[in-house]
């Protein structure tokens, strides 16, 4: 697999990172009293431990340049010392806090079956398959979107970035704007993190490991979609729900 084939294979997997139920969350279709399920599952599956997932790639990697990129990511996520001012997981909790949810629930979240399987995949991919797979899953897949092609080609569609006033949690659920500190931080560092993730993949993954990385990314898509299926079901969202509101 040459560099251009590797890049295209990764992009194709990222472009599969879409889910049929997401409009229910962005258009205010999910009942407010069910929204906590979505936030709790996100927290327990990866948000709380995201710096750890990236850290696993760091400790396995023998390449100093890659470690430096990963270390900067970890530092910002764990401390907010470069942009956010606070650890990103702490800022995430401003969403449920601003929506009046019981924050104590986030200390003991019970994962849905699909969420548990996705988390198990993340643990396996970041712990047992080498640094390249760990970095791909943590920094490219988890942090990335279906709009990754834009990160490499300015002519490709970019990820939508509407005004903060139009953020779904603000527009449909009444979240105060000041509780969007994490969204602001992500927008501030997003470009740099995407550039770093792609640089690590395209410049440093050995030829012999590229197939394994692409395969892991394909598995990540399937595990993530099953996870999102479980969350949609728990939140009362079905394809019929969406068809009736279309």
Contact present, 35 and 235 (Cβ < 8 Å): yes
The beta strands (E) that lie in 17-136 are given as none
**What is the predicted pLDDT for the residue at 231?**
98
Would you state the structure tokens that stand for residue 173, as one six-digit string?
A: 């659920």
- Give the integer Cα–Cα distance in Å for 44 and 175: 21
- Please write the tens of the pLDDT for every residue from 156-176: 999 998 999 999 999 999 999
**What is the predicted pLDDT for the residue at 84?**
82
- Number of separate domains in the chain: 1
**What is the predicted pLDDT for the residue at 224?**
98
| Secondary structure class of 62 (helix, strand, coil) | coil
**What is the predicted pLDDT for the residue at 57?**
98
- Please write the tens of the pLDDT for every residue from 78-114: 999 888 889 999 999 999 999 999 999 999 999 999 9
The model's pTM is: 0.94
- Please write the tens of the pLDDT for every residue from 64-83: 999 999 999 999 999 998 88
Q: pLDDT-derived band of residue 147, with 50, 70 and 90 as boundaries?
A: very high
Quick check: 244 pLDDT over 90?
Answer: no
Tell me the CATH number at 103. Answer: 1.20.910.10
Tell me which residue range forms the domain holding 183: 3-245
**What is the predicted pLDDT for the residue at 200?**
97
**What is the predicted pLDDT for the residue at 246?**
61
| Secondary structure class of 168 (helix, strand, coil) | helix
Summary mean pLDDT of the chain: 95
- Listed residue (148, 142, 131, 116) closest to 200, CA to CA: 131
**56: enclosing H helix or E strand:** helix 50-60
**What is the predicted pLDDT for the residue at 243?**
76
- Give the integer Cα–Cα distance in Å for 40 and 59: 28
Average pLDDT of the segment spanning 110-134: 98
**What is the predicted pLDDT for the residue at 51?**
97
How does 91-114 read in b/e, with b if 16+ C-beta sit within 10 Å?
Answer: bbbbbbebbebeeeebeebebbeb
> Phi and psi at residue 10, in whole multiples of 5°?
-65, -45
Average pLDDT of the segment spanning 33-56: 98
């Amino acid at each position: 697999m040459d560099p251009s084939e590797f890049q295209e294979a990764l992009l194709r997997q990222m472009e599969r990172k879409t889910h049929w139920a997401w409009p229910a969350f962005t258009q205010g279709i999910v009942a407010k009293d069910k929204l906590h399920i979505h936030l709790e599952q996100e927290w327990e599956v990866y948000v709380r431990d995201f710096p750890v997932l990236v850290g696993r790639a760091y400790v396995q990697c023998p390449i100093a340049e890659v470690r430096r990129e990963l270390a900067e990511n970890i530092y910002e996520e764990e401390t907010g010392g470069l942009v956010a001012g606070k650890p990103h997981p702490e800022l995430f909790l401003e969403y449920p806090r601003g929506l009046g949810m019981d924050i104590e629930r986030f200390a003991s979240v019970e994962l849905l079956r699909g969420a548990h399987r996705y988390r198990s995949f993340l643990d396996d991919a970041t712990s047992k398959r080498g640094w390249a797979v760990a970095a791909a899953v943590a920094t490219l897949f988890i942090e990335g979107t279906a709009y990754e092609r834009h990160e490499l080609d300015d002519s490709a569609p970019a990820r939508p970035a509407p005004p903060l006033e139009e953020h779904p949690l603000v527009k449909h659920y009444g979240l105060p704007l000041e509780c969007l500190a994490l969204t602001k931080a992500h927008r501030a560092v997003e470009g740099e993190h995407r550039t770093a993730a792609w640089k690590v993949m395209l410049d440093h993954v050995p030829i012999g490991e590229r197939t394994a990385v692409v395969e892991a990314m394909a598995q990540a898509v399937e595990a993530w979609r099953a996870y999102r299926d479980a969350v949609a079901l728990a939140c009362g969202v079905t394809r019929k729900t969406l068809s009736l509101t279309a």
